[in-house]
Amino acid sequence: VKITIIDRDGISHEVEAPTDMAMNVMELVRAYELAPEGTIGICGGMAMCASCQCYILSEDVEIPPMQDDEEAMLWEAFNKKENSRLGCQINITEELEGLVLELAPEY
């Protein structure tokens, strides 16, 4: 599926995201090196660091709702917005076609 990721410098990247690799959005950002090494995915995708926080900009793409651990982590996160999600908690599926998101600032 095609996903557009706006990096922390405001540059937009349209990337091809595989749906058959059990990958999440945080891993996708790392795979395409859209954030410097060590600034995203620090907890390894356990919903415990918020380094993978992103803002969901597309309104027409359905993302599965947050689980409790994601909500709890975001509650404590810096730079949280209404449309914040943790990239590591969003698995890449066919439903994400056309998703546009922006990486939250590094903290």
Residue 104 DSSP symbol:
P
| Structure tokens, 44 | 């390894």
Q: Segment near ligand FES (CB under 6 A), from 1-9, 37-45, 59-67, 92-100?
A: 37-45
Choice from 25, 86, 96, 99 touching ligand FES (CB under 6 A): 86
The DSSP code sequence of 42-78 is TTSSSSSS-TTEEEE--SSS--PPPPHHHHHHHHH-T
> Secondary structure of the chain: what % helix, strand, coil (to 5)?
20, 20, 55
Whether the Cβ atoms of residue 24 and residue 53 lie closer than 8 Å to each other: no
CB of 87 to ligand FES, least distance (A): 6
CB of 106 to ligand FES, least distance (A): 13
Residue 23 found at the interface with ligand FES (CB under 6 A): no
Residue 103 found at the interface with ligand FES (CB under 6 A): no
Site for ligand FES, rule CB under 6 A: 26, 41-43, 45, 47-52, 73, 86, 88
